[in-house]
Amino acid sequence: MAKGRSKYQIHLKLESVSIEKAGGYDTRRIPYSPNITSKMHWTIRKRWTDAWKEEVCNQWLVVKNQYKEITKALPFLNCEIQFFVFTNRQMDDDNLFGSLKPVVDGLKEPSKTGEMCCGIIKDDAPPQCRIAKPEVIKVASKEAEHIEIIIKRK
């Protein structure tokens, strides 16, 4: 993982999200893959998507004061996003990219009123935003699973 921080670089760590369901809560440390979300009822899929977007926003609020100079330059118009996925299971690249979509969407500037987004990046469309291939880092247990994100202004 990258050591040190450039002047316009933000580092976020996502631990887990939970949604309420019948009989209790369901907690995830890594977003579901498209193989699973494509089979979910749309309301459950939306709740998971919103939960991951909210987690991105919550983590941004936690660390925002560390980046006072950067917040003046937000949203980044041209950026690079690097994901580090700490997991105890094997994940193929296409499912990994698809599972991170709600996280990327949570980084964007809100496109409509009430949308849960933190406004770090203007948009995730190329060529303004480059999403690097996520790096998977093997951990020993499910409890150690998490995601780290580095957003750099180009």
Mind listing the domains of the chain with CATH numbers? 9-153 (3.30.1330)
108's tokens: 């964007």
Residues 34-71 as b or e (16 or more Cβ within 10 Å = b): eeebeeeeeeebebbbbbbbbbbbbbbeeeeeebeebe
* Stated pTM of the model: 0.87
pLDDT in tens, 67-104: 888 888 899 999 999 999 999 988 888 889 999 999 99
pLDDT in tens, 25-65: 788 888 988 989 999 999 989 999 999 999 999 999 999 98
Flag whether pLDDT at 5 surpasses 70.
Answer: no
CA nearest neighbour of 1 among 97, 83, 60, 64:
83
Q: Which amino acid is at 128?
A: Q
Question: What average pLDDT does range 127-136 have in this prediction?
Answer: 93
**Cα–Cα distance for residue pair 126/56, rounded to 1 Å:** 21
Q: Which residue has the tokens 């936690």?
A: 62
Flag whether pLDDT at 1 surpasses 50.
Answer: no
